[in-house]
Amino acid sequence: MSARDVVMRQTDYDEVTATNKLQEHGGDVKAVIREFLGVSNLQNKPKNNPKSTQQEIYKQLRTFLY
Q: What is the pLDDT of residues 9-26, one digit of tens each?
A: 999 999 999 999 999 999
- What mean pLDDT comes out for the span 37-45? 71
Q: Provide the pLDDT for residue 47.
A: 62
Question: For the whole model, what pTM was predicted?
Answer: 0.60
Which 3 state secondary structure label does DSSP give 36?
A: helix
| Rounded Cα–Cα distance for residues 38 and 13 (Å) | 14
Task: Return the percentage of the chain with pLDDT > 90, whole number.
Answer: 53
Q: What pLDDT does 5 receive? A: 94
